[in-house]
Structure 1
Amino acid sequence: MNRRELLGSLVSVSTAGLAVTSGGVSIAANTLGGQKTGPRNLITDVAGLKVGQSQDKKVQTGVTVIVPDSPAVAAVDVRGGGPATRETDALAPHNLVQEVDAIVLSGGSVYGMASADGVASWFGARNRGFSMGNTPGVPPSPIVPTACLYDLANGGNKNWSENPPYRKLGVKALEAASEEFDLGTVGAGFGAMSGGIKGGLGSASTVTADGHTVGAIVAVNSLGSVIAPGTKQFWAAPVEIGNEFGGLGTSELHANPEDYGYALGQAKPRANTTIACIATDVALSRVEMQRIAVMAQDGMARAIRPIHAPFDGDVLFALSTGHHEASGDMRRSVLTMRLGAIAADTLARAIARAVYEATALPGSEPKPAWRDLG
């Protein structure tokens, strides 16, 4: 099949709407464009996932843990110029371990890595993790990829000497894992800022017309702004479902190429990061999840301006819980394309929800929350 024939087999446009054909099978317009949220509008609408969170109000930081019921296929895409990560190399498609036991998003920059120590120890004590065999006296190795954001200069008490709180916060978050969780100034987003206003923790989900679910969770600590300069309208407004972040529409979404609102005044090396995880219930390979992770990163570009700067540590993980088999009458490449595109929109919505739901930290009046803007 030549290139023209391949393109013709994938995409055709008609007056009835967009139709994607694969081997003679048509995916109707309402399948691609008729998405709705899951019952919670959270990443836990993806079957087989729970989320736990913890925070320390005095330190003004926190941890979020994404926990699959059983090890899940995972991938990662790193775009920021100053990432703080753990075990991302293990997720390369050519490496040995194909599944993870949990994903951790944490405040604390390099100190936040200890949150994964707590999670790994908790799993290891319960005999969950990767093992080459069940040798008595040899614990398994839990696979817990982690990304951290910088919230060290947000005014909280960081005088922890040799005892940062993150290991305990990781365990506390894991033990709180549930299908229900709060958004805004919680978990990894507790101490986060975003383009000069309060950042936070956001989540969203999408259910396609043919029953697949995609979810996203994100801690928004971005250099860039999620709202258009001089307005309260979110850059993600074109993909909003219902009034999930205010329903303010798109009428004022315009700016000149170098108008970033409050964002430029916030530029500091390694001080700004958006860390996220997207997930689907469709059973996919590591290679397919890698492509979905790459596509899903576009959700950050749809919701934050600017993004992926030298100052940012932007990282996105992707999970497949495998609860549903992919449709047998659809090319895998077409399904991957669909889920990647949906994941990008879902992440954009989650980013807007993080800021929309956030409340200002005590004593931080010069840096208001979105809801405090005039």
Structure 2
Amino acid sequence: MKTVFKGKKISSIVGILPETISYFDDEVSNYTFPVKQTMRLKKIMGFESHRLAKKDSFASDFCIYGIRHLLEKGVIKREEIGAIIVVTLSPDYFVPQISNIVQGELDFGEDVICLDIAQGCCGFLIGLMQSFMLLDKIQGKKVVLCNVDVLSKKVSHKDRNDFPLSGDGAAVTIVENSKDFSNIYYSMYMDGKRRNALQIPAGGFRMPNNADTAELKDVGDGNLRALDHIHMNGSDVFSFVQKEVPPCIEEILNYSMVQKEDVDYFLFHQPNKFMLQKLREKIDVPKEKLPDDLVVKYGNPSGVSIPMVICDNIAEQLKEHKYQVCLSAFGSGLSWGAIIMELGLLDYCELIESNL
């Protein structure tokens, strides 16, 4: 899918971090591998630290925390909100939806549209697409886009492949109509044939959770995980990213008629540092234009990574200036996509730490 959105902009972003920090150096004894062997991965993969939600903190809590923060700061007013979109792979419940929980807890009007979308790595791009489309139907109102995941609750702490990269967090993005910003060029692709490269086998109706699905087993590579846990096939996802994303970036540049050299920032999903470095080399952009340190500090927060990268790296610049940016995400589904748009002159842009 390729399309153009006109008269839309992002006006504010707040990223929300959990307060709990877990360090890779303190986790090496979790694994069945020799410590020296495990520590070799630290620099290559970007294993440093990650943020983990508390046992009693869930996705809706992060959304409510972020929206309440923006309301208290006067960034947005209640009467301006026309829709709440929540994109997550970690819902509080099957029913009710997180967006409805947020609406009820914050006492928003009954005319506010509530919508949950189950998406992972491409969640920010999917959420923006839905936000842009809704803006055409709620004239004069704004969309509150919440990207949130607490997937560390679904990762085995004895899995050296997946646990060091898991990161929880959220972002609340305000999206609105505007005539002062250029067209937004958008592309998105999906391939369900490769869906099993990233999955949680148990927990749905097809395979409900039970004692057997919760049992930790050596899956053949020395890692211990259960069917209840999320797992990414690293080699398959790496090959997928290197094959599909560079042509996608080239396509969106051609589609938008923007030269690669004229893009100020390439703000990408953050699966791990190694994968991003190889991708950056393949698309041939300078290191200073493609931040890759989010996963080192906070872990991989799934669909939250792009807004969190924005808040962590260029928040201050975006309050005063407007930039040409390329957003790109890739992962679960499998799915991949890219956006060329103007980003800047934001009313608010911060990365904050919560007590969650």
TM-score, normalisation: structure 2: 0.26
Higher RCO (C-alpha 8 Å, min separation 6): 2
